[in-house]
Structure 1
Amino acid sequence: MVSEYLKKNTAAYHDAAEKLFNSEKIFNKTFSLEDYKKIINTNYLMLLHSENKIFSSLSENFSEKLQLDERVKLPLIEKDLESLALKNQTVSHDFDLENEHEALGAMYVIEGSTLGGNVIAKQLSKTEGFDDITFNFFGCYQENTGPMWKNFKEILDNEVAEENYSKVLTGAKKLYTFLLNVN
């Protein structure tokens, strides 16, 4: 199953992202508004430079099965930027995909961040200083977060042949690398 292959082979990237964003502070309630602004700004830049490329790289088959229109996150994180009074920025390097399999790998990173984001939103909503924050991006799927992730993984596992696992992994690594170097 490609989802397990990705989880195993991107664990170091995932851990690096958690370290970059000071994720441990989320759970011990020392995460600050500045920490939150950093995580939103970095995720915004990732989505700005990847979401349209990912979606346009996927065939109609995947677009329909994955319900891409329900997975658009850029407008949501732009609302978060606005509410935090952050300016839209650009990045110094590009993000490119070679094929549909790489796009699926990159989408794995974004959908996984949505799963984690739901946990982050729940924790931060109980943290002092976050009373007035609306978690548009991190709360994008609301109560459907689990089912949306499950649906994504099932489609990935059913549609990606084993000979293409490395291509999917390449896409995931590309987006993680972009995310980790975006600041």
Structure 2
Amino acid sequence: MVSEYLKQHTAAYHDAAEELFNSKKIFNRTFTLEDYKKIIGTNYLMLLHSEDQIFSSLSGDLADKLQLKERKKLPLIEKDLASLSLENKTPAHDLEFANANEALGALYVIEGSTLGGNVIARQLSKTEGFDEVTFNFFGCYQENTGAMWKNFKEVLDTEVAEKNYDEVLSGAKKLYTFLLNVN
């Protein structure tokens, strides 16, 4: 299954992202509002430069199976930017996906961040200094987070042939690399 293949082959990227965003501080409750602003600002740039391209790369039938209309996150993270008084920035380099398989790999990174973001939102809502924070991006699916992740993985595993695993992995690596280097 391509979802397991991606998990194995992107583990180092995932770990690097957790390190970049000081994720350990979230669970020992030393994560600050400045740390949160960094994670929101970086994720904003990732979405700004990938979401529309990913969505336009995925066909009608595949888009329907993935419930793409329900997965749009850029407007949500823009609300978080505004509530945190962060300004929109632009990165120094472009991001492009060669085909639908690469777009699926990039979407894997975004959906994975949403899955983790739900945990982050729950944890930070119990952390001092986050009383007034709205978690539009990280809380986007609310109680449907598990179901949305399950749907995404099922479609991914059903629709991607083994011969295309490396293309999907390429898209995931492109987006992780962008995320890790955008600051």
Aligned identity (percent) is: 79
CA distance in 1, matches of 2:148, 2:92: 32
CA distance in 1, matches of 2:38, 2:18: 12
Spell out, residue by residue over 1:70-101, the C-alpha distance to the aligned partner (whole angstroms, 9 max, x if none): 00000000000000000011110100000000
Cα shift at 1:57: 0.6
Partner of 1:30: 30
Partner of 1:70: 70
Cα shift at 1:144: 0.1
1:40 corresponds to 2:21: no
1:123 corresponds to 2:123: yes
Q: Which amino acid aligns with 1:15?
A: D
1:97 corresponds to 2:93: no
Cα shift at 1:69: 0.6
Matched length = 183
| Structure 2 length-normalised TM | 1.00
Q: 2:98 is paired with a residue of what secondary structure?
A: coil
CA distance in 2, matches of 1:122, 1:84: 18
Q: Tell me which stretches of 4 or more aligned residues in structure 1 moved more than 4 Å.
A: none
| 1:27-176 matched pairs, under 5 angstroms | 27-176=27-176
Partner of 2:4: 4
Q: Which amino acid aligns with 2:177?
A: T
* Structure 2 unmatched ranges of 5 or more: none
CA distance in 1, matches of 2:31, 2:177: 24
Q: Which amino acid aligns with 1:161?
A: A
Q: 1:90 is paired with a residue of what secondary structure?
A: coil
Q: Which amino acid aligns with 2:149?
A: W
| Structure 1 length-normalised TM | 1.00
Cα shift at 1:60: 1.0
CA distance in 2, matches of 1:68, 1:15: 27
Cα shift at 1:62: 1.1
Spell out, residue by residue over 1:127-155, the C-alpha distance to the aligned partner (whole angstroms, 9 max, x if none): 00000000000000000000000000000
